Amino acid sequence: MPENQGVDPKLYDKQYFESIDGAHYFAKDKTAPKFLYAVKISGMTKGDSALDIGCGRGDLMMALAQKGAEITGIDYSQEALEIAQKTIDKQSEALKGKLKVLHSNATALNFPDQTFDYVFMTDIVEHLYPSELKKSFEECKRVLKPKGKLIVHTAPNRWYNDIGYPFWEQPINKILNRVFHQNLLTRPIRTELDFKVHVNEQTVASLKKYLSTTGFNSKIWLGSEYVVPVKKDSTGMQLLEIFRQILCHAYPLSLVPPLNSIFCNDIWAIAKKA
């Protein structure tokens, strides 16, 4: 689809939201670690106001509201808004009063200047064409209060997808699956759907440039959600998990430069008005 039209919102249907990252937590009325981390790094407190751009199922909105914040979620997918509204309807009356969702586009925020203490953009940057992303960041700057914060998460890290995964992790996982009868990640580098919706994958450098050119000072870092050994139930499985992370991700060296640039898949940013 041409850049000036954006990604077709019909691609973001119920099936899409039931399959993307965090869906298995959402199905159990739990919150994925990614969203909890976003709340934690924001520093948000009771009474703050926040805008969640691309709110999707409403995962992050629920976590923010539980902190006592007033949350507005927007999405241009009608099916996303329906899912999010059903989630809101299941909450207590006290929580419902802190939550609302609106149909809106990330490039044209229908709010007055300096409305919000926080703006969150989790897993939407990679879905916006370059001109859209620039306009969206400009809009974020406009609706943020003078000391407000923009919290960004985007994945994949393009260098991980282009180098770390296809040339190291995927081949090793295939060997481990065969030898140890495991079911480790061997997905295609990019799926058919990825090619349709991930129209602007980022690196740390490219994201920083977008934020800088739209008037933000930012702190940007690479996350470690998939390269830290996951806690296992038995000692044997824990040792196998540590061995896998050392072999597949060069853990713990994968957490520090320059290896984190090709082994970490999550990019985080906190930005303030310059």
Helices (H), the chain: 14-17, 23-27, 33-42, 59-65, 78-89, 93-96, 130-143, 158-159, 170-180, 192-197, 204-213, 235-249, 260-263
Q: What is the pLDDT of residues 76-112, one digit of tens each?
A: 999 999 999 999 999 999 999 999 999 999 999 999 9
What is the model's pLDDT at position 244?
A: 87
The count of residues in the chain is 274
Give the residue-averaged pLDDT of 230-234.
90
Q: What is the pLDDT of residues 5-50, one digit of tens each?
A: 799 999 999 999 999 989 999 999 999 999 999 999 999 999 999 9
The token pair at 112 is: 């007055």
Rounded distance between C-alpha atoms, residue 192 and residue 175, angstroms: 25
Rounded distance between C-alpha atoms, residue 202 and residue 124, angstroms: 11
What is the model's pLDDT at position 224?
A: 80
Q: Is the pLDDT of residue 167 over 60?
A: yes
62 phi, psi to nearest 5 deg: -65, -45
Q: Is the pLDDT of residue 200 over 80?
A: yes
Q: What is the pLDDT of residues 47-78, one digit of tens each?
A: 999 999 999 999 999 999 999 999 999 999 99
Which CATH number, 3.40.50.10420, 3.30.460.10, 3.40.50.150, 2.40.30.10, labels domain 3-154? 3.40.50.150
Rounded distance between C-alpha atoms, residue 168 and residue 11, angstroms: 31
Q: Is the pLDDT of residue 268 over 80?
A: yes
Q: What is the pLDDT of residues 112-144, one digit of tens each?
A: 999 999 999 999 999 999 999 999 999 999 999
Q: Is the pLDDT of residue 2 over 60?
A: no
Whole-structure pTM value: 0.94
What is the model's pLDDT at position 4?
A: 59
**CATH 3.40.50.150, the chain: domain bounds:** 3-154
Give the residue-averaged pLDDT of 192-212.
97
177 compared with 270, residue with greater pLDDT: 270
